[in-house]
Amino acid sequence: MFQNSATVNPFTKFLQSRSALVYLIGINVVIWIVIFLIRLVEFLFSNSNIQVAGAELTPWVNIILSWLAVPASLPVLAGKPYTVVTYMFLHEKFMHILFNMLWLYLFGQIFLQFLSGKQLLATYIYGGLSGALIFIAAFNFFPVFEPGLSASMALGASASVMAIVVCISFFMPDYTVHLILIGPVKIKYIAIFFLVMDIAMIPSGNAGGHFAHLGGAIWGFSYVRLLKSGFDPSVVFSSKWLSSLTFSNKSRKTKFKKVHVASKPVNDDEYNRMRAENQKRIDVILEKISRSGYSSLTKEEKEFLFKSSKKS
């Protein structure tokens, strides 16, 4: 009995954490299930001889997508501006949501090791908005998209996920993961690889999706720069309701604004000496991560690195 409990413990622990990552994945999956069930019911009650493979876009699913996906056409967008938010939780195809949620889970877990759940939520939302903006701007600026402008739409969490991938990849560029058949790779190189692929694949199809990915990436990189400058746009997500959902995971004990009120040493020489010592220790820890991975750090080293990243 106890062995079985231990077997499912990691998954159960993840669900019970009630972190922002759990909610984001949950919302995406629930919406996809609802769309799948609608498509299934329409297929079962259809009078025509529709093949299963051809029943992917039934009338009601088409209506739902037209309501919730973000349109490229500015006049159409003016009638449903809310779609710049709804589109980032909307998936129609199984493989689309599968890959998006896998990437969200993998990089979301890394993200939450160094930043808060509130910041993960902010990166997801702002990254999605940035992706929608670049998608709309590209389709209205480049003449090649003019013939299909009125019918073009974007949907999916890809831009939001790309924002999270790029944000954590440049916030902790030396964090190393082990890839099958490749070995240890720093996550910054993974982010750069997919950015290059998105740019290269714009002419080969799904140009709107690739532009949205680039929009998410732009926000992810911009967010890192803002954090390092001392400004955190995730303050918008600091409401009491969001806090009740434990969106700020373990880091909620140390609120962002409190991180910066540590008392300064009496004189500048002492202050500069302490900064130099802290930087040396950070360099040693990052080198340890690059050699043996994040899991090789002690609890005290993880806490020190987390606190230092908030101050940077």
CB 88 within 8 A of CB 159: yes
For 305, the enclosing helix (H) or strand (E) is helix 299-311
How sure is the predictor about 271, in pLDDT bands with cuts at 50, 70 and 90? Answer: low
CA–CA dist 23, 8 (Å, integer): 19
Say whether both 37 and 121 belong to one domain: yes
Q: Which domain holds residue 270?
A: 262-311
Residue 240, pLDDT above cutoff 80: no
pLDDT at 3: 44
Closest CA to 274 of 284, 283, 264: 264
Could you tell me if residue 205 is left (phi over 0), alpha (psi between -120 and 50 degrees) or otherwise beta?
A: left
Average pLDDT (196-213) is: 92
Higher pLDDT, 295 or 198: 198
Average pLDDT (231-239) is: 80
pTM for the full model?
A: 0.74
Q: Which of 55-69, 178-192, 249-263, 292-306 has the lowest mean pLDDT?
A: 249-263
Say whether both 187 and 278 belong to one domain: no
Inside any domain, residue 249: no
Helices and strands, counts by H and E, the chain: 14, 4
Inside any domain, residue 119: yes
Q: How crowded is residue 135: how many other Cβ atoms within 10 Å of its Cβ? A: 28
Share the mean pLDDT of the chain. Answer: 82
For 186, the enclosing helix (H) or strand (E) is strand 183-186
Residue 48, pLDDT above cutoff 70: no
CA–CA dist 106, 83 (Å, integer): 27
Residue 100, pLDDT above cutoff 90: yes
Say whether both 273 and 230 belong to one domain: no
Residue type, 299: K
Q: Where is the domain boundary, 217, 244, 271?
A: 244
Inside any domain, residue 252: no
Rg (CA), the chain: 22
What is the CATH classification number for the domain harbouring 61?
A: 1.20.1540.10
Say whether both 133 and 282 belong to one domain: no
Q: Where is the domain boundary, 244, 271, 295?
A: 244
Encode pLDDT of 146-163 as tens digits. Answer: 998 999 999 999 999 999
pLDDT at 153: 95
Number of domains into which the chain is organized: 2
Return the percentage of the chain with pLDDT > 70, whole number: 75
Say whether both 207 and 295 belong to one domain: no
